[in-house]
Chain A
């Protein structure tokens, strides 16, 4: 029998839809005077986030020492922040990002990301812009909902995510029918919050209308500003549409010293989890010390947006060749 695995998994109308939505996205940013940029996919350094695994390849040729490891970017964040620090003003990019180990109905290890940065915005003004773009691309006319991380946990689980003990979180998972052999040490408090969020809350989010969650625990700030208070909160947001996590944004951390501290913490975590640390982006650190302008930035999974636009349950309906038949 003739093998059929040379064929694209996405129907031709979805391949056309991609081209159409890419064109509309570029028009959207052109009308708002946001500059399209390109940054390298390969770099000698990679992200420090312990939850992201980079692909690595090797370069042999002029310009770098023999056999230099080069990492494929997990997102264009580092390079785009270096442009911002150099005075680029507001910028956007549509590019491929690569994450080892991620494959499923909503994941492909190589995927398309739309990432943009707005100088002078905070996370709320950026949410307005994300809303305008997604409304236009998905042809929606409803208001998007905005709910804090705390309220969403209270709404679905009756639990305060900032004050609940680790025992409370584990008991809540078990009582709600999420069974696992994991203990508290293996994934930590944030791991349990992620488990509750992904198993018990996410499937309900953004069903009636798309929904932003904002004000994350400070421990999940990544590179967002942390606002001090009785409970310190990260000025970070995520957008959910019909149970799908679509975008993640920050009111950007500009403080170089704080950046170094988080960087240090991630490095220690990676050493503990994996026993080694990939080379991490020192040039980003220097750029932040030179001064990142006050800004907000967001990354949006473009393939997932296409899944929503096309009504597909699986990413292979919108990516013509996923890793399984690339």
Chain B
């Protein structure tokens, strides 16, 4: 099994901590001018979804988690589990609610997602960086306002709520960045 030195730490790197696979969310280099250097790491336990911090001595090595990222297509949700399919083998995987965490609210079906497998079990799912979704509810649009300043909340067809410019109307199709949860632009229907 491979290891990573703290110098290789970056967001998204997968480590084995106390027997569980974890993903690095954030890594902070901490060093007093005259003293020991540390890496203060924020991690997500990929099994439980729990977020916690851990401190390493700078230069220390940590066991890598044997995880694999695979492109899969989202098929449907049965209310308890989310079903994905590998495009080459047509093999299907059922993903738990915990593993869907922040991703569920961006998916309506057919999307190509990056599914992280650990020992063949799906641990987490990343939505495509950009999705296009229709607005189902928002305050009436303000004609002529194209500045985008201010803004208002809008509910999308998947239930996600994003901040949008005042000119956006119900039924508009929007492009959204799923990494930041921010509105990008309107898309012509």
Contact = CB atoms under 8 A, between A and B. Distances in A.
Nearest to A50: B36
Interface size class of A (residues with CB under 8 A): 20 to 34
A194 interface: yes
Contact of A178 (B28, B31, B32, B53): B53
Contacts of B33: 238, 245, 248, 299, 301
Contacts of B40: 199
B30 A101 contact: no
A25 B22 CA distance: 47
B57 A182 contact: yes
A186 B57 contact: yes
A275 interface: no
A181 B35 CA distance: 19
A33 to B, nearest CB: 28
A168 to B, nearest CB: 18
A44 to B, nearest CB: 24
B48 interface: no
Contact of B36 (A51, A238, A301): A51
Interface residues of B, number: 21
A102 B37 contact: yes
Contacts of A248: 33-34
A198 B56 contact: no
Contacts of B54: 179-180
A222 interface: yes
Interface string B23-44: 0000011111111111010000
A101 B59 contact: yes
Interface string B53-96: 11111110000000000000000000000000000000000000
Interface of A is mostly: mixed
Contacts of A245: 32-33
Interface string A80-108: 00000000000000000000011111110
Nearest to A107: B29
Contacts of A177: 53
Which of A51, A105, A190 has the most C-beta atoms of chain B within 10 angstroms of its own C-beta? A51
A187 interface: yes
Contact of A180 (B7, B29, B34, B56): B56
Contacts of B7: 101
A105 B55 contact: no
B57 A102 contact: no
Contacts of B35: 51, 190-191, 194, 197-198, 220
Interface string A155-179: 0000000000000000000000111
Given A51-B36, A105-B28, A194-B36, 17 more contacts: A51-B37, A101-B58, A102-B31, A102-B37, A105-B29, A107-B31, A177-B53, A178-B55, A179-B53, A180-B56, A191-B35, A194-B35, A195-B55, A198-B32, A199-B38, A238-B33, A299-B33
| Shortest Cβ-Cβ A-B pairs, 8 listed | A104-B29, A194-B35, A180-B55, A191-B36, A194-B36, A198-B30, A248-B33, A222-B34
21 contacts: A51-B31, A51-B34, A51-B36, A101-B37, A101-B58, A102-B37, A103-B29, A104-B29, A104-B31, A105-B28, A105-B29, A178-B55, A179-B52, A180-B55, A182-B55, A190-B36, A194-B35, A195-B55, A245-B32, A248-B34, A299-B33
Interface of B: 7, 28-38, 40, 52-59
